Amino acid sequence: MYNDIRYAYATGRIRSLQKDLVDETTVRRMLETPDEEAAFAVMMETSYAAYATGAGVSDYERMLEAGLIEAYRLVRSISPDGTLTDILLRRYDLHNVRIIIKAEHIGADYKHLIVPMGRVDPDTIAAAWHLRREGWEEGSESSHILPPASQISLPRWLERLLYRAALMIDNSGDLYLVDLMLDKAWFRGLKAWSKENSHYLYAWLVVRIDAVNIMGMLRLRAGGWSRERWREIFIEGGRVSRSKLESLYDLTPEQAAAGLIDTVYRREIEGGLEDYRKCGELSYMEALFEARLLEVLRAERYITFGSQPLLAYLLRKEAEVRALRMVMIGKLNGLPHDIIHKRLRAFLYR
């Protein structure tokens, strides 16, 4: 059964909110403006205007963040299953973990880099991290790692990640490995949740994993990185197997991409490859994968009520924020119109 009656109210509400998502025409108008002031003026016509403080263009990032926070807050308040938003917001908790660890490592202030979107208070994460492994007990999956005397309460999954990160830094001092571990933890958590709760999200995630694996392989190959480094970043769970990608690793990025044409991502690979031949850049292929991800989300149109419209709304909202940020950054840095346009491919031709 595709329909889940528990989501009837939430779906009705989301169907209305979908109208406020920034459309292609607005993004095009922003893109065609001569400078950042004019682009910002177009942005002020969208729902993000509600978060403006009057500071002008410099306000745009805060407005985008506020819009996204509000979208998550609203969906969480109407969703019968809170884990639906929690699992997506885990990414922001992991971002904050990453920031806290790196800031401590280089002795810098991190507060301004914290994203206030996670489900766990960043100060609590920081307090747990600053305890480091002092008094931590390595136990089974179900037992506490943080000592009860610390009075710090963290979700079990986060406790385990902090513990692993601490071990990694003590053993190797390599923050890159911690980064990878955190990235993989997000994919692993999302995969486990979606497999159990949402085939729709799982289908999206599989494409996302493939996109990360394929783009990672081609980028590392183009950068001359070793095969071992690529093995470290590979994420299990996609449709394109590890062996398939590994067999292409010794080829040039162009040959490797050509070797992937027989996969289900023919359109993205062919389009990206054509652009790579012309400009030597892989950003267009990445944009095509982004378009593919948005295409996967379209299946929610055929769902009368269920978690799918809610998930699609949040994931589209994230894509929208990325697109608007891309335009504003491009305008602020004086990037040529066609460069920004190419990177916005996903948003403009979905």
Partner 1 sequence: MDILGIVLAFAGAALAAGLAGIGSSIGVSIVGQVAAGLITEEPGKFGQTLILQALPGTQGIYGLLVAFLVIFKIGAIGTLKAVTPGQGMAILLACLPIALVGLFSAIAQGQAAAASIGLIARRPEELGKGIIYPAFVETYAVLALIASILLLQGVAL
The footprint of partner 1 (CB under 8 A) covers 3, 5, 8-19, 78, 304-305
By beta-carbon proximity to partner 1, the closer residue of 41 and 78 is 78
What is the nearest approach in angstroms of partner 1 to the Cβ of residue 15?
A: 4
Residue 116's Cβ-count burial label (10 Å; 0-12, 13-18, 19+) is exposed
Residue 74: CB minimum distance to partner 1, A: 10
* CA dist., res. 57 & res. 38, Å (int): 9
CB 174 within 8 A of CB 168: yes
Q: Which is nearer to partner 1, 21 or 222 (CB)?
A: 21
Residue 188 DSSP SS3: helix
Amino acid at 262: D
Of the pair 5, 108, the CB lying nearest partner 1 is at 5
* Termini Cα distance of the chain: 28
Q: What is the Cα–Cα distance from 85 to 198, expressed in whole angstroms? A: 12
Q: How far is the CB of 315 from partner 1 (least distance, A)?
A: 18
Tell me how far apart the alpha carbons of residues 213 and 26 are, in angstroms, rounded to a whole number: 32
CB of 51 to partner 1, least distance (A): 18
Nearer to partner 1, 77 or 255 (CB): 77
**Least CB distance to partner 1 at residue 312 (A):** 12
Nearer to partner 1, 186 or 200 (CB): 200
Residue closer to partner 1, measured from CB, 3 or 124: 3
**DSSP annotation string for 198-215:** -HHHHHHHHHHHHHHHHH
**Single-letter amino acid code for the residue at 282:** L
Instruction: Supply the minimum distance, in Å, between the C-beta of residue 6 and partner 1.
Output: 9
Is 16 or 171 the residue whose CB approaches partner 1 more closely?
16
Which amino acid is it at 219?
R
Task: Give least dist CB 94 to partner 1, A.
Answer: 31
Residue 207 CA to residue 219 CA, distance in Å, equals 18
Q: Name the minimum Å distance from CB 19 to partner 1.
A: 6
Q: Which of 30, 50, 54, 52 is nearest to 40 (CA)?
A: 30
Give 237's Cβ-side CA count (13 Å radius). 23
Nearer to partner 1, 80 or 189 (CB): 80
Q: In this structure, what DSSP letter does residue 280 have?
A: S
- CB nearer partner 1, residue 14 or residue 39: 14
CA contacts within 13 A on the Cβ side of 208: 18
Instruction: Please state, as a whole number, how many other Cβ atoms lie within 10 Å of the Cβ of residue 106.
Output: 8
Contacts with 203 (C-beta within 8 Å, 6 or more apart), sequence order:
296, 299
Among left, alpha and beta (phi > 0; psi -120 to 50; other), residue 152 is beta
Query: Shortest distance, CB of residue 23 to partner 1, whole angstroms?
Result: 11
